[in-house]
Every structure is written in C-alpha cells, then in structure tokens.
Structure 1
Amino acid sequence: MPLSRSNSCVDIDFTLRRTFKKTSFRPLQREVIVAALEGQDVFVQAATSFGKSLCFQLPAVIDHGITIVISPLLSLMTDQVNALRLAGIRAGTINGNTSFEEKKDLLRDLATGHPLTRLLYVTPEQCSSDHFRKHLSTVYDQQELARIAVDEAHCISEWGHDFRPSFKQLCWFRESFPDVPVICLTATATAQVRRDIISTMGLEESKTKVFTMTTSRTNLHYEVRFKCDEEDHFEDFLAWLKSTHRRRAEDPQRRTQLDKKQERVDNVPGIIYAITRNDCESIAARLRSNKIGAKPYHAGLTTQEKNETLQRWVNNEEGYDVIVATTAFGMGIDKENVRFVVHWSIPKSFEGFYQEAGRAGRDGKASLCIMYYSREDRDRAFKRIANDKKEASNLTARMKSLQALINYCEETNSCRHALICQYFGELTMPQCDYACDWHKDSKALKRAKKNGLQSEEWVSTQRDMGRFDDGWDGYD
C-alpha cells in the first residue's frame, strides 16, 4: 500500500541545518532529495565526495515510516549508524556484527508494523531471510515502509566491478512492494551497468529519475609512476612526502594557516593502498622508521585495533598521519582533508582505482593521486582475477575493467582526467588545469614510461620530472 507523499512544503533546508548541521547542499543533492520525497524511483551515480548518503538519510528524517538501506559493507553501516545516532536519529543495523540483543530489539520494532527506527541498514543476505521479509511485509501493510535505498548499487550488475550474487535477489522488493520507491546509489557505473541495475531491480527506465554527475574531480592531481619489478619505489614516495613537509615548514603563510586550524606542519594525511597484509605492515613500519606517523589497516587486525586506528587518523592525531591499507579501507569514511592517495601497485579494477583515489581531497582542495605501475604487477593482477573462483561469474567484466586500467596507466598521449571521463561514458571532457602528469609535462611522461619500465635509470628519470621536489604548491 502506498505511502501518502505530502512533503513538498517541508523545509528541507531547515532539516539540513538542524539535523545534519550542514549549511548548504552540494550541487544536485537538493534535486535528488526532492525526487526521493516525491516518491520517484531514483538512480544516482556521483563521485566519492558527492555525499550520496544524505540523499536517502534526509528524506528518511522527513518522511513517515522507515527507510531500509542495503549495503555490502559492515564498516560503512556501522559508521553511518553511529553518525546518525549522534545526530539524534533513530537508526540501526542488522548484520553479522550485530549483537543478539540489538538484533532482537530491531526485529521486535519491525514486528509492530509501526517501527520507531527511521533508517535500518541491512546486508543483501539479510534481505533473503524469510523471517526478515515477513517483518517488512507487516510494516508495508501498515503503510510505513517509506523507501528502499541500495548503496554501492554497482554490486547488483554482473557487468560491474564488484558483482555480488546476493544483490540479484533484491528484485524481491519491487515484486512484493510495487509502490515503495527505490533509490540506487553508486560512485562507479558505466551506462551498461546503470541499465543493468535498473532492470535487475525491476524498475522502469523511462520512469526512473536518473542523476549522473561528472566523474571529474579537478582538484585531484593524477600521476602514474613507472617502475621495474626489481626496483623498490619506497624511496621515491618518501622523498616526495618529505619534500611536501619541507615546503609546508618553509612557507610562513602556510604555517600561519595551519596554526589557525591547529594542524601540524608535518601532518600530511594520506592513504596508501597495498595488495597484501604483509605489505601494509612492512610499508607502515618503514615509514615509522623514517619518522612518519603511519599505521597498517587490514582484516588481520582486531576490531578494536582497526577502530582505534581509524578514529585517531580521522582526528589527525600525532602518529596517525598515513594509513597503509588493503582496499577494504575507506568506504564511507568522512575525512575531508586527505591530501594524497597512493596505490602501491595496480588495483584490481578501474572502478576500484577511481573510488579509492576519490577519497583524496573531499574538501575540494588540491590533492595528489599516485599509481605505481609495473608490467610485472599487471601480470600478477591478471593472475589474481583468473584464479579467484569466487568471482568466476563475472570474469569477463573484471578482465575488461582491469584492461581499461592498464590502458590508462600505459597511455602517454592523453589527459588522465579525460581518460577517466571516457571510461565512464562522459561526452564532455573536463578542464584539466595541469592537474595530471600528461598536462604537466607530456615529453617527460613518455621518457619516464620508456625508462621506468625497462631500465635502471628510473630514479634519475623521476628526478628529471621533478617528482622529488617539484615545487608544486597545491597541497594545503
């Protein structure tokens, strides 16, 4: 049974300020929220810094009833629920980490048909439970099921980079609750993936309000740094980081700005993505031995260790400047001043690279995204995909995405920002104000590729490009 949609006169700006403590919407956020409040099915593809969660959280505060949020990421659910509760919003999550008592309380709340919970975060696996579905049907019968929000919606599509078979079963919502609006959100979706998501969810493409924002992040400076397999690029990265510290220390105006914000001169917050847990531990240890505050973050650590590391890094505490993590780190983390993201080797997909790099510069200020690339790493990446039996169902899509990322790395004749936009099917190319290695010096980039992938002149070539101390003054 449909909910009554009578929220057109509600002051969403007042709710934004009062509940979410924000002074203004980001571009297109208001339009998405209005469409959701009008009861339309909505698809949102927007960059990491857009603030997609607000697009279903704010309507959930205004609307009558409960919003069900489906997410594949336990840490993301926990972080968002904690933030909502701090804002005074009734929110909960049912997943593998939920205590028995809390799960029982949330299910009891649903069973009344008139839940007090405004947002309930669940995994797609939970949505397959007959017991859970029965409770949702009770809520629906009482006209209190406000909407279904699917976060990380690219997981629905077999053509997506992170397909999860359990997401396919989410079509049950439209089949069972045909008049309950659905909002699907993702940072990474080609046109083919978008069509697949809408079709799989049982939505009508002609009636779905689609918002696709540009993938261009002009404040991010993209670089590919070429290397041979036997070369250790730790010294290259360390030299760049120390030169950044030095420039901050030597600039009186910057020192004054940092003092006003109570930030240390030697704190350049960043993320390094590595493939293995051992790499995370090793790189973090080497940075600490060079007086850089760095901590590892991976699945082998206890929950307490990970939570403490995350919180101290978010709070810019001394000794927690750089996180060296596997790719599970960073989803939904609200830290705006990340000044760099480094991929220690090529990640598994183009979408993964874009999403992870996008965690830099969420405050709109200049930030650096470095990818270290070797053809040996490329070959290992292909082997990992081919040997991953869990992902065999979408092997073709994953291989295609990795090949696109390889092409991005090997390209020396185009702007990095343009290559990203082209991959996601954008027709309008971005204005890159020397915010990539090609625009900065295309000839030096070609030399670096030629020398870096096959000779011992790599370090000197990097110096020729000015990468150790280039004087670029973009970092806040």
Structure 2
Amino acid sequence: PCLWQPKVAEALLKGDQEVLCVAATGMGKTLTFWMPLLFRVDGIQVIVTPLNMLGKQNVASLAKAGIQAIAINSETATPANFYAISNFRYRAIIISPEQMMKPGGDFERLLKDQLFISHLISIVIDEAHCLTEWGDFRPEYWELGWLCYVLPPSISLLVTLVTLTKSTITDITWILHMHKDKTLVIHRSSDRPNIKISIRKIKYPLNTYTDLAFLIPAGF
C-alpha cells in the first residue's frame, strides 16, 4: 500500500477522527476501509454504496481475500440475512442508503444493539458525491447525517470521493454534521503526468493502425 492508505486505516482504527478521503479512481480508496479488518479480527465495517453492482463487486473481492461480506439491498434485506449479520457471520456489510435509513428497519435496530456496535470499526460513505448530486431523487442520502446522533464517538466516519471542490466539502460536511476540528482530510492529486492529449493528422488507412505506431517505443 501507499503511505496515505495506512494513514486512513490508522485513523479509522483509533476512532478519534472523521476522515475525508479524496483520491482518483483506481488509486486505492477501497483498500483504506478494508485494511482495518486485518488489524482487528473481530471488527466489522459498514459501507454505504450507491449502486448494487458495486456492492456485489466488493463482496466478490473480499471473498477472494477470505473475508465474509454481504451486500444488502431491496432484494437481500431479508430477516434471515439481518439475523446472520447480528450473529457476526459477516465482517463487511455493504448497504444501500435506502436500507440503512429505513425507518424502524433492521439496520436501525442493529445500530441500537450495543454488542454489534462494540464490533463496529467505522461507517464508510463511498462515492460521497452522491450526497449532493443524487439527494434530490434519493433523499435517504440527505438523512445520513442522522448517524452522528446514534453512533458513539469511538466509531469513525470515512467519506470517500474522487474530486473535491470548496462547495462540495461544505455541502458534505453540513449534511453529515462533520466537525472541522475532528476531520482528517486526505487529498490525493488526480493529476496523471503520464497521460497527455495528442492530436495527430491521420495519414494511413484506418484498418492498418499505422498512425498508432508512435505509441510503440523504438526498438521494441
């Protein structure tokens, strides 16, 4: 891992800071919230994700690492699955905001279970730009600030996103009731110095691909 990734994981394990992590796609944000599971063998991570597909991908990736995970959405939010979660069958719960914020729902009951809370490392809000961009038609995103009233101070909140503007950080911290003096900001540049835009005139027939020869190093 890169140095910034263990730094995020350490903050989550300490539980004394909220973390705002900004990094480009492919830089390894996901690793930051799985790493704590390696250091706390009885720990549980809860991840709020906007898309069912992302939940399934995370479950598959964790299975390869030997970590039991479950994706909770409208199809899988069954009493049997929540019973399994409450009995610590899974170490990672990937859940949609709708299921997390369902009034009187099974997840709300989990958050009131002190035994479950004692195993919880942090709650991760992945792809957090959805709070501001999707809140109009998925209002549960705007309700996630409720978490700060029900979670003990020892449970960290990790917010991840790809890009960050001043207005975005203002909106997100306001929605989630994050405290500026308690928030660790990890901001990785999205600059890709090895990528540049090049415009060239096509000289050869397209089906020969000869115009792309410049991409192959000389003598390769």
TM-score range, shorter chain: 0.7 to 0.9
Structure 2 residue identity aligned to 1:38: K
Number of matched pairs: 211
Q: CA deviation at 1:77?
A: 1.4
**Residue 222 of structure 1: how far off its partner (Å):** 3.4
Q: Give me the whole-angstrom Cα distance separating, in 1, the residues matched to 2:125 and 2:197.
A: 30
What is the SS of the residue equivalent to 1:189? coil
Cα distance between partner residues in 2 of 1:186 and 1:168: 16
Query: Which residue is 1:143 aligned to?
Result: 118
Report the equivalent of 1:108.
83
| 1:41 match | 18
Task: Tell whether the 8 Å contact from 2:134 to 2:141 is kept in structure 1 after alignment.
Answer: no
Q: Is the 8 A contact 1:153 1:184 kept in 2?
A: yes
Q: 1:423 — aligned with what?
A: none
Give the 3-state SS of the residue equivalent to 2:112 in structure 1: helix
8 Å CA contact retained: 2:55, 2:94: yes
Q: 1:211 to 1:142 in 2, by over 3 A?
A: closer
Is the partner of 2:158 in helix, strand or coil?
A: strand
SS at match of 2:124: strand
How large is the Cα RMSD of the aligned pairs? 2.9
Q: 1:69 touches 1:122 (CA, 8 Å); kept in 2?
A: yes
Alpha-carbon deviation of 1:67? Answer: 1.0
1:70 match: 48
Question: Does 2:169 correspond to 1:169?
Answer: no
- Report the CA distance between 1:49 and its aligned residue: 2.4
The CA distance in 2 between the partners of 1:223 and 1:247, in whole Å, is: 11
Find the partner of 1:117 among 87, 90, 95: 90
Residue pair 1:26, 1:50 contacting (<8 A) in 2 also: no
> Which amino acid in structure 2 is aligned with residue 222 of structure 1?
I
2: CA distance between counterparts of 1:166 and 1:188? Answer: 22
Q: Distance in 2 between matches of 1:154 and 1:140?
A: 32
Percent of aligned pairs with the same amino acid: 27
Partner of 1:242: 209
> Of residues 90, 93, 111 in structure 1, which corresponds to 2:68?
90
Deviation at 1:110?
Answer: 2.8
Where in structure 2 are there 5+ consecutive unaligned residues? none
Q: What letter corresponds to residue 56 of structure 1 in structure 2?
A: F
Q: How far has the Cα of 1:41 moved from its partner?
A: 1.0
Question: How far apart are residue 60 of structure 1 and its match?
Answer: 2.7
Return the letter of the residue paired with 1:33. Answer: A
Q: Give the one of 24, 28, 31 matched to 1:54.
A: 31
Q: Which runs of 4+ in 1 moved over 6 A?
A: none
Please report how far the alpha carbon of residue 108 of structure 1 lies from its aligned counterpart in structure 2 after TM superposition.
Answer: 0.8
Deviation at 1:32, TM superposition (A): 1.5
Give secondary structure in 2 for the equivalent of 1:78.
helix
Q: So what's the TM-score if we normalise by structure 1? A: 0.40
5+ residue gaps, structure 1: 1-24, 226-234, 254-476
Q: Equivalents in 1 of 2:80, 2:199: separation in Å?
A: 50
Could you say which structure has the greater relative contact order, defined with CA pairs below 8 angstroms and 6 or more residues apart? 2
